A = this chain, B = another copy of it.
């Protein structure tokens, strides 16, 4: 992509309404624009990141055997009256009346709708477990939306649902999502720590929040440094295996958000040099809630002996759009965003410092084409901006690698490569640069 054609309306000033780094940087980098309080458009740069994150989430869901589907955003109120949550949910639910005066709502979550689909489709224990997920926009009418897309009103969520015959099987479904979440966040360069959590309006007995450590996180968290040393991507996972040993490695050491924190227990269980006190952002939550919805909504199946059994359910959410902000919170510096390679909007920023100069244009064009042929996504700055502005924009938008082509370097037969995360720079011939970048 050529920057001269790319829709990238960066901002020079930090918008006054933006209080945290991710909100400021995403606005400045031309990733998002607000249209109403807590409602954002994703401009092409932001959209690219959102899609990469969504795809990682999808791949890790698919690996577990959960199957993707898609439920609508607008739901009938009657389903929520069946579960009893229509009145419980309060003003965060966006309530809508259609032209025929039917009560509808913009889904904040989908337990009722998926349970309705299940009960109309599955009638025998032989068809269990039923494991489904979707990635769809949700709406929560927050009284005070803030922090950009971190606490917006319209947001993209991946929500999975499991239907099992008994607790043991439900626990296996829960474990699958637990492990998939660890892998999902790790692939985005995030250290996400599972912490026991309240079940809140979803209900149920068992829940974990997944908390990303970030200095600007909303809540204080406490955990054992041992948790930071587990590399969940180091081994492949067979989701048909017993996952309990892996779960235990993650749930054994101390980890708590502030409202669940027990200082005495923390000090007793964690040696001083391993005590981490930091801040965290919730990026996912998993729930097991048994028959809470299946009982109230009549989702039962015929068991092996013909008896009707209320199915055991769980639900599992990842804040897909929120993750974009969480990654920026966890990975930025004074110059701007530092994207992990797996979610970067482009792999490489190629700067032509003197657009219009025949040698620079040719060198830039040649390298651009070679990198593209090698399968890399390249953003070529072919504009006539001055060098300082080009460097600042590239640092701001945070592509992992920068390649700088200028007239002086070319005369010496070199281009400069800069690693955005470390700031390290070095010179290579254009041919060696191509080998290095495509290695």
List the B side residues contacting A33 at CB < 8 Å.
117, 120-121
Given the complex, which residues of B lie within 8 Å of A39, measured CB to CB? 72, 74, 76
Interface-lining segment among A4-12, A274-282, A359-367 = A4-12
Known contacts A76-B35, A141-B99; decide if A69 and B91 are in contact (CB<8 Å): no
Knowing A70-B47, A75-B36, say if A113 contacts B41 (CB, 8 Å): yes
Across the interface, do B35 and A143 meet the contact criterion of CB distance under 8 Å? no
Q: Is the CB of A50 within 8 A of B35?
A: no
* Per-residue B-contact encoding for A106-137, CB less than 8 Å = 1, 0 else: 10000001001100111000000010100001
A376 within 8 A of partner (CB): no
- Closest B residue, CB atoms, query A39: B72
Contact indicator B71/A41 (Cβ below 8 Å):
yes
Which of B69, B122, B154 is in CB contact (< 8 Å) with A73?
A: B154
| A67 contacts B by Cβ under 8 Å | yes
Cβ of A225 under 8 Å from chain B:
no
A104 within 8 A of B: yes
A68 contacts the other chain (CB 8 A): yes
Tell me if A86 is interfacial: C-beta within 8 Å of chain B: no
Contact among B7, B70, B76 for A132, CB-based, below 8 A: B7
Q: Which A residues, 50 to 70, have Cβ-Cβ distances below 8 Å to chain B?
A: 50, 65, 67-70
Number of copies: 2
Q: Output the nearest chain B residue to A114 by Cβ-Cβ distance.
A: B41
Cβ contacts under 8 Å, A102 to chain B = 36
- When the two chains form their complex, are residues A36 and B104 in contact, meaning their CB atoms are under 8 A apart? yes
Which chain B residue shows the least CB distance to A79?
A: B35
B99 with A91: CB separation less than 8 A: yes
Per-residue contact bits, chain A 37-49, to B (CB 8 Å; 1 contact, 0 not): 0011111101100
Interface size of A by Cβ–Cβ distance < 8 Å?
52
Q: Judge if A98 is at the interface, Cβ distance under 8 Å.
A: yes
CB proximity of A265 to chain B, nearest CB, Å: 40
With contact pairs A7-B132, A98-B94, A117-B33 given, residues A44 and B72 touching in the complex (Cβ less than 8 Å): no
Q: Does A346 contact B (CB under 8 A)?
A: no
Roughly how many angstroms separate A336 CA and B13 CA in the complex, as a whole number? 59
* Interface 0/1 of A353-383, CB less than 8 Å to B: 0000000000000000000000000000000
- Residues of chain B lying within 8 A (CB to CB) of residue A94: 74, 96, 98
Question: CA of A7 to CA of B118 in the docked complex: distance in angstroms?
Answer: 10
CB distance from A167 to the nearest CB of B (A): 21
Q: For A44, what are the chain B residues with a Cβ–Cβ distance below 8 Å? A: 67-69, 132
Q: Does A139 reach chain B (CB closer than 8 Å)? A: yes
How many angstroms between the C-alpha atoms of A104 and B6 in the bound complex? 30
Q: Which residues of B contact A67 (CB under 8 A)?
A: 6-7, 44
Complexed CA–CA distance, A74 and B94 (Å)? 11
Looking at the complex, which one of B30, B69, B130, B137 makes contact with A41 (CB distance below 8 Å)? B69
CB distance from A18 to the nearest CB of B (A): 15
Q: Which of A47, A67, A116, A153 has the most CB of B within 10 A?
A: A67
Which of chain B's residues have a CB closer than 8 A to the CB of A9?
A: 120-122
The listed residue (B69, B72, B153) touching A35 by CB distance below 8 A is B72
* Contacting residues, chain B, for A121 (C-beta < 8 A): 7, 9, 30, 33
- Whether B47 and A68, one on each chain, are in contact in the complex, defined by CB atoms closer than 8 angstroms, is yes
* Given A91-B99, A94-B98, A137-B137, A117:B41 Cβ within 8 A: yes
Asked if A35 meets B130 with Cβ closer than 8 Å, knowing A122-B9, A137-B73, the reply is no
Complex A-B, nearest 5 residue pairs according to Cβ-Cβ distance, in ascending order: A9-B121, A42-B70, A36-B76, A44-B67, A41-B71
Interface residues in chain A, defined as those with a beta carbon under 8 Å from any beta carbon in chain B: 5-7, 9, 30, 33, 35-36, 39-44, 46-47, 50, 65, 67-76, 79, 91-92, 94, 96, 98-99, 102, 104, 106, 113, 116-117, 120-122, 130, 132, 137, 139, 141, 143, 153-154
**24 contacting pairs across A/B (C-beta < 8 A):** A7-B67, A7-B69, A9-B122, A33-B120, A35-B72, A36-B104, A39-B76, A40-B72, A41-B71, A41-B117, A42-B69, A42-B70, A43-B117, A44-B68, A44-B69, A72-B137, A73-B154, A74-B153, A94-B96, A96-B96, A96-B106, A99-B141, A106-B106, A137-B137
